[in-house]
C-alpha cells in the first residue's frame, strides 16, 4: 500500500495509506460567522470590500451575512445593503443565514440565492441559545425549507456542538447523526458539522464522523472546526482522510469563541489553504490574495490576525 | 473503506468550563485500529520538553537562574519524562544559557526523568559532565547553506567535529541524542531534499546517537512533506529511534505530528507555552506548545505520563515571568483573563 504522498495528475492523493480528496471546497465564513463574533462593529463598505477581496482570491463559497433580527445581532444589521453592494462573481456562491421564514423572505428579496439553517446536537445548547428543544428548532425550519424548495433556493444545514457542548459536556455521536440526518432529509444539500467550542481531537472527530456518515453521505458533509484548543488543522486532516471534501474556515481566523474569554474560535482560512496546498489538494484559492483580504480586515478591526501563516509572513 | 481509527472515549462529563479540557482530553480506555493497513497509533508517546533550552534560548528576555530552575522543577512535577535543561555553548554566543552550570546543579532531578543538555563541542561536553549532565545532544543541519550560515562549516565538517564528543560520550557512558535541523525547508535554500535529511540522520545514528530528532526549523512542513521526509529517513534509521520536532510557524505542527504518529513515530519534541519564537520570521511563532500536543495526544487516548493541569501551571508561571501571553491555544482557552 502506498503510504507516501504521491501527487500525479488525475490520480488520487494518498497520505499514510488513506486517499485524500483531489479538491476541497472551502466555505469562507469570515464575513458572517467571523464578523458576527467580533466586538467591533464594521461599517457596511468595509464588509462589502472584504467580501469583494475574498471573491477575488478564488474562494468558491463566501457566507455573506445573516438575516437575523438586528436587535439580536447588531453586526448584521446592514444585511440588505451588504447583499446589494457586493460584486457577485459568476460561479461563486454567497449563502446567508436565515433563522426563520421572515428572514428567508427578506434574504431572497435582497438577492440571496442560497441560504443556511442550523440545529444543535445538544439539547441544553439549543435551549440556552434559542430557547427551544432541538426538535422544535428543526420544526421551525420546515417553513423555510418549504419556501426554499418552492423558490429553488438551495439550503445548507449547520449542526453545532458536534463534539462538545459548553453546557452538556461530551455530545453523543448518535445525537449528531440524528440532527444531521434530519437536516438532510428536510432537504439541505450539505451538512456542516461544527465543533463549536473547539474541544474535538482527531479521535473524537472520527468517532463523530463515522456515526454521521452512516446517516448522511460523506459527499454531503463538511467540517467546521474551531481552533480554540489548537486542534483544528489536525481535525480537518482526519476529516480529509475520511473522504470529507468541504471545509469551513474564516479569513484571519476572525471570530473568537464566545464561551472562553480570550480564546480563539474559527480556524484561519490561510492556515487551512497552506495545509491543503502543501498536500497538493486544489482549492482554487490564491493564498496571496487571500492574505491581502485578511490583512485588510485586521487593519480595519485594528487587531492581529489569528492566522499563523499571516503572522509568519507579515513584516511588522 | 480502509480501516479507520476507533476510539472509545470514556472521559467523564463535566459542566464546569474550567474543567472542560480535562474531560475531553482524558480517555482511559482506548481501542485503536490503524489508519494504515495494520498500523496502529502508538499507545504511548514520549514527550521531549525543550522549553527551558530551545524555548528560552529564543526568547528576548534574559531569565534569572532561579526562574529557570523553578520552571524545570515545575515541568518535572508535571510528569514529563525528558526535559532539555540547558546548553553548554559559549555564553558569548548564547547569553541566555550563561548560567548553565548553576541550572544543572540547582534543579531537582527526579529519578527516571532525563535532563539532556546541548553540547556543541568537546569542551562543552566536558563542562556538561562536570556539572552533572547524564545525557547530551548534538546537532547537524540537513541544509548546507544553513550549516554554513549558522556554524560556518559544511554539514560533513560539523559532523566530523562531533566525533570527539561521541568518543568521549561513549567512554563516559553518556547517551547522545542527535538533532537534524531544516528537515523540510531552509530559510536560505528553500526546499530540502528528503535524501539529504536521511543522510544526516543516518550519519548521526551511525556515530552512536540513540535517537534522532527531526526538526522542521522554519515550520514550513505540511503533512505531505513530512511523510515524504519521514519515509526517506526511516529507510536509514529505525522508526523507533526517530522523533519529530515540529515548529508551528505556519500553524501546521499538530497536523504534522499526527501524521508522524500515523507512521509509527513515538517521540515528540515540544515547548511549554510554545516558548521560543522563530528567529527567521519576525513576530512568528516557533516551537509547538506542549500543552496543545498533550491535549491532542490525550484526546486520542495516547498515554504521555503528563498531568496537563500541572503542565499548564508551569506554562502560566513562565509566561508571567516573561510578561508575555502563552502561545498555547489550550492555555489561552482555559486562562481567565
Rounded Cα distance between B71 and B275, Å, is 12
Q: Using an 8 Å Cβ cutoff, are B53 and B87 in contact?
A: yes
Percent of chain A with pLDDT over 90: 85
Q: Write out the three cell numbers for A229.
A: 484548543
Q: Using an 8 Å Cβ cutoff, are B278 and B286 in contact?
A: yes
Burial of B40 from C-beta contacts in 10 A (0-12 / 13-18 / 19+): middle
Nearest CA in chain A to B301: A203
Q: Does B337 touch chain A (CB under 8 A)?
A: yes
Percent of chain A with pLDDT over 70: 92
Find which of B224, B253, B274 to mutate to test the A interface (most A CBs within 10 Å of its CB): B224
> What are the C-alpha distances in Å from B165 to residues A81, A296, B59, B160?
70, 52, 28, 10
Which among B255, B292, B295 has CB closest to A275? B255
Rounded Cα distance between A298 and A254, Å, is 9
| pLDDT-based confidence at residue A72 (cuts at 50, 70, 90) | confident
Place of cell 431572497: A108
| pLDDT-based confidence at residue A10 (cuts at 50, 70, 90) | very low
pLDDT for the residue numbered A89: 97
Known catalytic residues of B are: 278
Residue A5 has pLDDT above 50, yes or no: no
pLDDT for the residue numbered B93: 86
Exposure string of B264-284, with b = 16+ CB inside 10 Å and e = fewer, is bbbbbbbbbbbbbbbebbeeb
Cross-strand pairs, B268: B47, B244
Query: Taking CB atoms and an 8 Å limit, are A164 and B24 in contact across chains?
Result: yes
Inter-helix orientation angle A232-241/A202-213, to 10°: 40
Q: Does B304 touch chain A (CB under 8 A)?
A: no
Domains of chain B as residue ranges with CATH = 40-334 (3.20.20.70)
Mean pLDDT of all residues in A68-80: 92
Quick check: helix, strand or coil at residue B189? coil
Q: Mean pLDDT over all residues of chain A?
A: 92
| β pairing state of B185-186 and A221-225 | unpaired
Rounded Cα distance between A67 and A102, Å, is 9
Query: Taking CB atoms and an 8 Å limit, are B222 and A274 in contact across chains?
Result: yes
Residues whose CB is less than 8 angstroms from the CB of residue A154 and which lie 6 or more positions away in sequence, other chains included:
A113, A114, A115, A148, A189
Cross-strand pairs, A265: none
> What are the C-alpha distances in Å from A48 to residues A52, A83, A256?
6, 8, 21
Predicted confidence pLDDT, tens digits, chain B (337 residues): 333 333 323 333 333 333 333 334 333 222 222 333 234 799 999 999 999 999 999 888 899 999 999 999 999 999 999 999 999 999 888 999 999 999 999 999 999 999 999 999 999 999 999 999 999 999 999 999 999 988 889 999 999 999 999 999 999 999 999 999 999 999 999 999 999 999 999 999 999 999 999 999 999 999 999 999 999 999 999 999 999 999 999 999 999 999 999 999 999 999 999 999 777 766 677 999 999 999 999 999 999 999 999 999 999 999 999 999 999 999 999 864 3
Rounded Cα distance between A121 and A181, Å, is 11
Give pLDDT tens digits for A90-142: 999 999 999 999 999 999 999 999 999 999 999 999 999 888 999 999 999 99
Rounded Cα distance between A224 and B21, Å, is 19
Residues whose CB is less than 8 angstroms from the CB of residue A40 and which lie 6 or more positions away in sequence, other chains included:
A301, A302, A303
Tell me the Cα Rg of chain A. Answer: 18
Find which of A11, A16, A173, A243 to mutate to test the B interface (most B CBs within 10 Å of its CB): A16
Q: Using an 8 Å Cβ cutoff, are A254 and A34 in contact?
A: yes
Give pLDDT tens digits for A205-246: 999 999 999 999 999 999 999 999 999 999 999 999 999 999
Query: Taking CB atoms and an 8 Å limit, are A16 and B283 in contact across chains?
Result: no
Q: How far is B5 from chain A (nearest CA, A)?
A: 7
Q: Report ipTM (2 d.p.).
A: 0.90
Query: Taking CB atoms and an 8 Å limit, are A18 and B2 in contact across chains?
Result: yes
Known catalytic residues of A are: 257
pLDDT for the residue numbered B12: 32
Rounded Cα distance between A187 and A194, Å, is 19
Rounded Cα distance between A314 and B11, Å, is 40
Mean pLDDT of all residues in A264-273: 95
Rounded Cα distance between B35 and B223, Å, is 14
Rounded Cα distance between B272 and B326, Å, is 9
Query: Taking CB atoms and an 8 Å limit, are B223 and A163 in contact across chains?
Result: no
CA atoms lying within 13 Å on the CB side of residue A313? 20
Q: Kindly report the number of other CB atoms within 10 A of residue B93's CB atom.
A: 11
CA atoms lying within 13 Å on the CB side of residue B1? 12
- In three-state form (DSSP H/G/I as H, E/B as E, the rest C), the secondary structure along B55-84 is HHHCCCCCCCHHHHHHHHHHHHHCCCCEEC
Q: Write out the three cell numbers for A15.
A: 497520505
DSSP label at residue B239: G
In 3D, which of A237, A123, A247 has the Cα closest to residue A193?
Answer: A247
Rounded Cα distance between A99 and A137, Å, is 10
Give pLDDT tens digits for B62-118: 999 999 999 999 999 999 999 999 999 998 889 999 999 999 999 999 999 999 999
pLDDT for the residue numbered B61: 87
CA A39, B19, A239, B285 torsion: positive or negative? positive
Find which of A21, A122, A170, A230 to mutate to test the B interface (most B CBs within 10 Å of its CB): A230
pLDDT for the residue numbered A7: 37
| pLDDT-based confidence at residue A49 (cuts at 50, 70, 90) | very high
Query: Taking CB atoms and an 8 Å limit, are A18 and B11 in contact across chains?
Result: no
Give pLDDT tens digits for B195-235: 999 999 999 999 999 999 999 999 999 999 999 999 999 99
pLDDT for the residue numbered A262: 65
Amino acid at each position: 500500500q502506498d503510504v507516501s504522498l504521491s501527487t500525479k495528475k488525475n490520480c488520487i492523493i494518498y497520505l499514510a495509506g488513506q486517499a485524500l480528496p483531489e479538491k476541497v471546497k472551502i466555505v469562507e465564513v469570515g464575513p458572517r460567522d467571523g464578523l458576527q463574533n467580533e466586538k467591533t462593529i464594521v461599517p457596511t463598505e468595509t464588509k462589502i470590500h472584504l467580501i469583494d477581496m475574498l471573491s477575488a482570491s478564488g474562494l468558491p463559497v463566501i457566507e455573506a451575512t445573516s438575516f437575523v433580527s438586528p436587535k439580536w445581532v447588531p453586526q448584521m444589521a446592514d444585511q440588505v445593503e451588504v447583499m446589494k453592494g457586493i460584486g457577485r462573481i459568476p460561479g461563486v456562491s454567497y449563502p446567508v443565514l436565515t433563522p426563520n421564514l421572515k428572514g428567508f423572505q427578506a434574504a431572497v428579496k435582497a438577492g440571496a440565492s442560497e441560504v443556511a439553517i442550523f440545529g444543535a446536537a445538544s439539547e441544553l445548547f439549543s435551549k440556552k441559545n434559542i430557547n427551544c428543544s432541538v426538535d422544535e428548532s428543526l420544526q421551525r425550519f420546515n417553513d423555510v425549507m418549504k419556501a426554499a424548495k418552492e423558490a429553488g433556493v438551495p439550503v445548507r444545514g449547520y449542526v453545532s456542538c458536534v463534539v462538545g457542548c459548553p453546557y452538556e459536556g461530551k455530545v453523543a455521536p448518535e445525537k449528531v447523526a440524528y440532527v444531521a440526518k434530519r437536516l438532510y432529509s428536510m432537504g439541505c444539500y450539505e451538512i456542516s458539522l461544527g465543533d463549536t467550542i473547539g474541544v474535538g481531537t482527531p479521535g473524537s472527530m472520527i468517532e463523530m464522523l463515522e456515526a454521521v456518515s452512516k446517516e448522511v453521505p460523506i459527499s454531503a458533509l463538511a467540517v467546521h472546526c474551531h481552533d480554540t484548543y489548537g486542534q483544528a488543522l489536525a481535525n480537518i486532516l482526519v476529516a480529509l482522510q475520511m473522504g470529507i471534501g468541504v471545509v469551513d474556515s474564516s479569513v484571519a481566523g476572525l471570530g473568537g469563541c464566545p464561551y472562553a474569554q480570550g480564546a480563539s474560535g474559527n480556524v484561519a482560512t490561510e492556515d487551512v489553504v497552506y495545509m491543503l496546498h502543501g498536500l497538493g489538494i486544489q482549492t482554487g484559492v490564491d493564498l496571496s490574495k487571500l492574505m491581502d483580504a485578511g490583512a485588510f480586515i485586521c487593519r480595519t478591526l485594528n487587531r492581529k490576525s489569528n492566522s499563523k501563516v499571516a503572522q509568519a509572513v507579515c513584516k511588522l
